[in-house]
Amino acid sequence: MAELTDAQKKGVMKIIEHLVNSFTAIDDAMSQGFFIEALIRIDAFLDFSLAMMVEYSYESDEEEQTVGMFRELMGKKHFPKYAPSILLHKGLISKQHSKRIEAFRHFRNKIAHDLFGSWIVLMQKNKFTAENISAQERDLFKTECKKGKELVKDIVRYYLERRFKGKISIPKFD
């Protein structure tokens, strides 16, 4: 990728500022005990994060690079059990963009199911209010929020480093 113009740098920095603010909003929701709100924010963030990776894979249009990106990401502490099925998924190694999008969607759904499984069960039981949530369920929400935040942080940071390393200053999102 060529050097970024000043306008492009400004645009990327605005996106990064938005990401930092989003992580702060997740932290604020968690610290106030609004775990459902935090999970909803994380869920939306997951879509955004994976959309960035899809966009990156289009631009590189290198099958190996896309597979390598997943291998590297899935080798991390988050959800390593999904690596083989995702890497073998036909869409992931296909050069047809429609199939690749399907692979990313499949990947996203697996993560969401693992991350938000208990939350979805509670939603099905119509337990929307804080009073209806037991202490055990609250702890579960807290754990899922932390897991989710770490995951999206890793995906976003990974993408920014792959895409813009040496071109802009990338925050740690701590």
What is the pLDDT, as a whole number, of residue 17? 75
Mean pLDDT along residues 29-52: 69
Which tokens belong to 40? Answer: 């909803």
At residue 53's C-alpha, the angle toward residues 45 and 58, to 5°, is: 140
Is the Cβ–Cβ distance between 86 and 107 less than 8 Å?
yes
pLDDT tens figures, 115-152: 666 555 555 555 545 556 677 767 777 777 777 777 77
Which range, of 29-38, 58-67, 100-109, averages the lowest pLDDT? 58-67
The reported pTM is: 0.54
**What confidence score (pLDDT) does residue 84 get?**
36
More confident residue, 81 or 174: 174
Q: Are 117 and 147 in contact (CB under 8 A)?
A: no
Instruction: Find the mean pLDDT for residues 49-78.
Output: 51
Helix (H), strand (E), coil (C) string for 35-103:
HHHHHHHHHHHHHHHHHHHHHHHHHHCCHHHHHHHHHHHHCCCCCHHHHHHHHHCHHHHCCCHHHHHHH
Alpha carbon 67 to chain centroid, angstroms? 17
**Spatial contact of 133 and 122, defined as CB atoms under 8 Å apart:** yes
What local confidence, expressed as pLDDT, does residue 121 receive? Answer: 59
> Cα dihedral sign for 84, 85, 90, 96?
negative
Task: Provide the pLDDT for residue 170.
Answer: 74
As a whole number of angstroms, the distance between CA 10 and CA 157 comes to 18
Whole-number average pLDDT of the chain: 62
pLDDT of residue 52: 60
CA-CA distance, 51 to 174, in Å (whole number)?
22
